[in-house]
Amino acid sequence: MASVTNRASSKLKTFLSILNKTAPRTYFTNVKELTQVIKGKQPVWIPADEATRVFECMKSGNTVFSQGAAATPQFLLHAMTEYGKCHQLKGITVIHMHTEGKAPYTEPEMKDIFRSVSTFMGSNVRKAVADGRGDCIPIFLSEIPKLFYRKIYQPDIAVVQVTPPDEHGFCSLGTSVDCVRAALLNSKIIVAQVNKQLPRTFGDSSIHISHIDYAVCVDIQLPQHGGKPPTDNEKKIGKLVADNLVANGATLQLGIGSIPDAVLASLHNHTELGIHSEMFSDGVVDLVYNGCVTNSKKTFNKGRTVGSFLIGTQKLYKFVDNNPTIEMLVVDHVNDPKLICQQPNMTAINSCIEVDLTGQISADSIGTRMYSGFGGQVDFIRGAGDSIDGKGKPIIALISSTNKGETKIVPTLKVGAGVVTSRAHAHYVVTENGIAELFGKSLTQRAYALINIAHPNHREALEKAAFERFKVMPSQ
């Protein structure tokens, strides 16, 4: 028996070795390029009250990239909007991931000047997209950097937020690395909002001041999210996931929202957890301080909490500032399913808008109305589902009904709703009413499992719909 175990262990090590050699590692060369010193070059420093001067290089028809999440350079984006309006520019594309704060360039009066293109939509651009003044790109988070490397979008100007330079001249991209490095490497001009309130982070976040062409100093608080206590239903979901699906020593990915935060709040009795996630928020901080998150079992990035972008409260920003145990890495590394599957007990926890009775999951739209984007859900659902140790858990968690009492477990998705995670990818669906394990189940078995975790008020109607669809009653 021991020899069989040893042979299996040997095969696993060989497979890991092959994956490590073949996995894309281009982000290391990207880091090197932006951290090289350009001899004799310094940015042009513009006073904050003259910030519109930064955009004298902007022309009609240009493409502008904006950094996002907590590091959204809101001050400069307002200056950009003002400059474009005053100089009657036309046809400027603003491409970005999830941005925070107001997006003045999406206002109706700006429709001929700017057009927002989101790779993941925030609430500030939804109306513009719905009204046709903006657009969005359906894309996996891990593949957004390819838009820049393949020159599908080549920014004339990149607008970012950085920390002040240290004694060696290095700034940090702070809370948002994600696709930013790819955009910077392929931008003609780099404009920076230099903010001393931006946390200095490690990993792939360094950029030497000599790469910045124009800089404006500000002293502005970062946008904040979260900090609210979970609802009773969110607590139930958090406890169900924590007690039944998260093992000690698991590596966690958590999407954005109150449900992932509720899961974190229920993990205080767990040990040796790791974090490998495109983003994380405040809930991780307490788990680290309580000794629950050690990152000691991870296959790589041992001892370090890995993210790609952050959004939270001041508590989170203070925690990550100058903290060498936090690594902010490019999203084509963090979200690479070939790397995700190597982490032990990889447990991916994401949310959605609705699930149909076969397990199709819509997360980016409400019917035809675009709401967010693919994000990292599929990257991590696939990575966890393909886990090399066979212990990965891809989880979709949602409250069973809307605030208006409508069911989120539906006979069929709304007309026009996009399938983000296919029914073949769906393994676990969790509501406040229980856990539906879908992997390996037939259509009628899936329907039975999902109806049992739907809101009780809707189960009879769902049973009727299932019978009409499958011609038999859903069965266990």
**pLDDT tens digit sequence for 298-314:** 999 999 999 999 999 99
Catalytic residue flag (residue 432): no
Fold match flag (27-218 vs 232-470)? yes
pLDDT confidence of 20, banded at 50, 70, 90? Answer: very low
Across 279-305, average pLDDT: 95
Q: What is the pLDDT of residues 217-227, one digit of tens each?
A: 999 999 998 77
Domains of the chain, residue spans: 27-218, 232-470
> Concatenated DSSP letters for 84-106?
HHHTT---EEEEESSB-S--GGG
Q: What is the pLDDT of residue 258?
A: 86
Q: What is the pLDDT of residues 230-280, one digit of tens each?
A: 999 999 999 999 999 999 999 999 977 789 889 999 999 999 999 999 999
Catalytic option among 100, 234, 272, 278: 278
pLDDT confidence of 7, banded at 50, 70, 90? Answer: very low
R_g of the chain, CA atoms, integer Å:
23
Pairwise CA distance, residues 181 & 330, whole Å: 7
Q: Is the pLDDT of residue 288 over 80?
A: yes
Pairwise CA distance, residues 412 & 45, whole Å: 56
Mean pLDDT over each residue of the chain, to the nearest integer: 93
Across 114-139, average pLDDT: 97
Closest CA to 336 of 203, 143, 110: 143
Q: Is the pLDDT of residue 18 over 50?
A: no
CA distances from 249 to 51, 252, 335, 384, 448 (A): 49, 9, 20, 15, 32
Pairwise CA distance, residues 8 & 432, whole Å: 39
**Cα dihedral sign, 6-9-14-17:** negative
Are 303 and 294 in contact, with CB atoms under 8 Å apart?
yes
Q: What is the pLDDT of residue 127?
A: 97
Across 50-78, average pLDDT: 97
Q: What is the pLDDT of residues 377-412, one digit of tens each?
A: 999 999 999 999 999 999 999 999 999 999 999 999
Q: Is the pLDDT of residue 96 over 80?
A: yes
Contacts of 168 (CB under 8 A, 6+ apart): none
Across 88-103, average pLDDT: 97
Across 17-21, average pLDDT: 43
Are 65 and 157 in contact, with CB atoms under 8 Å apart?
yes
- Diameter over CA atoms, the chain: 77
Q: What is the pLDDT of residue 5?
A: 43
More confident of the two residues 6 and 343:
343
Pairwise CA distance, residues 349 & 368, whole Å: 25
The fold of the 232-470 domain, in CATH, is Glutaconate Coenzyme A-transferase (3.40.1080)
CA distances from 384 to 337, 347, 423 (A): 8, 6, 15
CATH architecture of the domain formed by 27-218: 3-Layer(aba) Sandwich (3.40)
Pairwise CA distance, residues 124 & 118, whole Å: 11
Q: What is the pLDDT of residue 261?
A: 87
Pairwise CA distance, residues 436 & 400, whole Å: 12
Across 310-339, average pLDDT: 97
Q: Is the pLDDT of residue 188 over 70?
A: yes
Of all residues in the chain, what percent carry a pLDDT higher than 90?
Answer: 88
